[in-house]
Chain A
Amino acid sequence: MKRFLALMTTLLITGTTASARSTIEWWQFWTDPGIKPTVDSLVTAFEQANPDIDVTVTDLTWANGQEKIVIALASGTGPDVLELGSDWIAQFADNGHLSDLTAELAPDSAQFSGWGMSTYGGKLYAKPWILGTRVLFANRDLLNKAGYPPDFVPATLVQFRDAAIKIGTALGKDVYGWGSNTAEKHRLYKKYLPFFWSWGAQLFTDDDKYCVISSENGINSLTFYKMIHDSIGFVADQRGVEDAFLDGKVGFVLSGDWLVKRIELEKRKFNLAAFLMPGWDFPGRSFLGGEFLAINEQSGNKAAAVKFINFITSPEAQMAFCKANRSANPSSKAAQNDPYFESDPILNVFIKQMRNSIHPPVDPNWPAYENAIEAAVEDVLFGRGLPATALRDANRKIMEARSRNAKP
């Protein structure tokens, strides 16, 4: 009898312990050998701090990660926690695949930036993690050779244009003023929109009812972009543009913090200058996107998942991540104010630019809008389209997509 009681007690204890433990599954995209160990160490630190929670990490790639997430969510086999690109959130939320985290995340929302990208229909669906913007990089040596003083900052679009043209025309046949992206999907619009916004144009009216991409400012911005593309542009894909820039063949490129990391990894001696986006009002507006952490609506471990998200996005964890990855845009405001960024003149430009950046609308139809914008820019840069005609066409397509998918 004693033995039986002891056995039952043991079973009860272990049973209780087992049921109290939970395992959450996290799908994330940081697979680069430079950052993956940091991601793993953050997960380990979380598990140590929360012995009742295990975390299983699955790595995704940007090549097919979105497909995998969509298929998993559609088939009900998605993970508990998902890393999502900012432009996916509306689509997933709209179709009921993400948990409404308003109650859990709203209390400390003042401590983070980027909520605009994860708020859909007045609800919070994901927590901002690592944000991303684009700044204007320049080869300071080429600027110097073109006769500009060492402290030159192109504050207006005219100053930028003139400097780029001078580099592109005065320094030889193989030197270009501007690194212009080819028609790459998901990339071209991120290069054009900063010029569009910095020209004072907007995609939609303030009440969000009508698309106004083909406004006078919009047309002027695309005319300007085409002019620098045609006259002094080195046209290649993102990698090709950055290669040429780092090889000293291109004066200016619009790029992200990965370029800083690349220069350091490749140990290049490069006289890099980073500027805030020029505009009619300085600073101009750049593109804002980022990585967010969301919870699958079907997750059975929501409480543990929220705990995990809060841990990973904590200022300390974000700083560890940013230092390892040379990422410049943590979502945590405490991390943004860290002396690490303050003391780095290049990364500091990213922090400032992030505060002067615009994110695309949080709309489930965004992929259709993006296609329309990219098609217009592609048509103008590489086809026979005129800025006004191409943007009017994009305007029409965007409004059609919006009305076609409007909910009754």
Chain B
Amino acid sequence: MRNHRTIAYLYTLPWVITFGLFWTFPLIYSFLMGFTNSRLLAKEFSWIGWANYSALLQDSAFLSALKNTFVFALGTIPVTTVLALLLALLVNREFKGRGLFRSGFFVPSITSLVVVALIFANLYSRGGYVAMIGQMLGFETPQNGFLYDSGTALYSIMAMDVWMSVGYYMLIFLAGLKAIPDELYEAAEINGASPTRQFFSITLPLLKPVALFILVVNSIKSFQVFVEIFVMTKGKFDTMTSVYFIYEKGLTTQFEFGYASAAAYILFVIIGIFSLAQFLLFRQRKDYSW
């Protein structure tokens, strides 16, 4: 028996070593680094306690990045979730060409984010299609394009993000819808429940675990937004987000590892609190009502 246990441990050893080396060690090391003035180029560094954290909380660039991250997350998560649910309800119905719609909605989420970002940068540019359509509809569009205007850049990226990710969450909602037993709807129908009542009393409550998963995953993803910003604006025009700030501080120009690590841990705590709040909110009642 003991021999079997040893062999089992041996089998898991490669994963344990990899996990320790590439996940646990960097996690602990970067946490400790947040309390130092470490810079990649400097040969020495020293322990400075909470100085990085207190400096960050007074750093207007970091606070602005946090604000933008919250705007991005709080602006995209509800829209993406609601749209994904509506699309899932739509493509869950029987109609001709349903498969085409399902695939069509899902394709953006499997396309390279860099490619999508480049295409949207073009669409949002001066004289691009978005500006053209906006002008045709009588809207005033930014003179230099949507991404070169502090008032529209972040929202334009958010719109792209919603377009790109809604199909993925739609698919997850669709799986959730398929798991709801038909008997429940039949019984409700016999009892005279209207389709609206069925939606609010059966569909929505039973989708709660799926919705929780989507909200948590989408929150983490939104708080970590980086690629879109890197490709489309480089953090300019009021689009600097927390992860882009960390990248700029830690991996460009001055390579301030200590400062960037502290910023990363502040973001880590925020994401943790946000995720925990969602879990608590959804676990309050077990009767599947919202």
Contact = CB atoms under 8 A, between A and B. Distances in A.
Q: Do A and B come from one complex?
A: yes
Interface in A179-220: 182-185
Describe B's contact surface by its main secondary structure.
loop
A339 interface: no
A74 B40 contact: yes
A378 B236 contact: yes
A73 to B, nearest CB: 7
Interface in A41-72: 66-67, 70-71
Interface string A15-43: 00000000000000000000000000000
B144 A367 contact: no
A386 interface: no
Given A92-B41, A182-B148, A236 B126 contact: yes
Given A183-B237, A378-B236, A91 B150 contact: no
B87 to A, nearest CB: 35
A95 interface: yes
Given A182-B148, A235-B144, A382-B150, A367 B253 contact: yes
Contacts of A367: 253-254
A383 interface: yes
B252 to A, nearest CB: 7
A383 B64 CA distance: 14
Contact of A183 (B43, B143, B236, B252): B236
Interface residues of B, number: 20
A92 B40 CA distance: 11
Given A182-B144, A236-B144, A70 B150 contact: no
A74 B41 contact: yes
A356 B76 CA distance: 51
Query: Which of B39, B237, B251, B253 has most A Cβ within 10 Å?
Result: B253
B234 interface: yes
Interface string B250-269: 01111100000000000000
Given A235-B144, A368-B254, A382 B234 contact: no
A166 interface: no
Contacts of B254: 91, 367-368
Given A74-B41, A91-B254, 13 more contacts: A71-B40, A91-B41, A95-B42, A97-B41, A182-B144, A182-B236, A183-B236, A185-B234, A235-B144, A236-B148, A367-B254, A370-B253, A378-B237
22 contacts: A67-B251, A67-B252, A70-B41, A71-B40, A73-B41, A74-B40, A91-B41, A91-B254, A96-B43, A97-B41, A182-B144, A182-B236, A183-B236, A184-B234, A185-B234, A235-B126, A236-B144, A367-B254, A368-B253, A382-B148, A382-B237, A383-B150
**CB-CB nearest 7 A-B residue pairs:** A367-B253, A183-B236, A235-B144, A95-B41, A74-B40, A367-B254, A182-B148
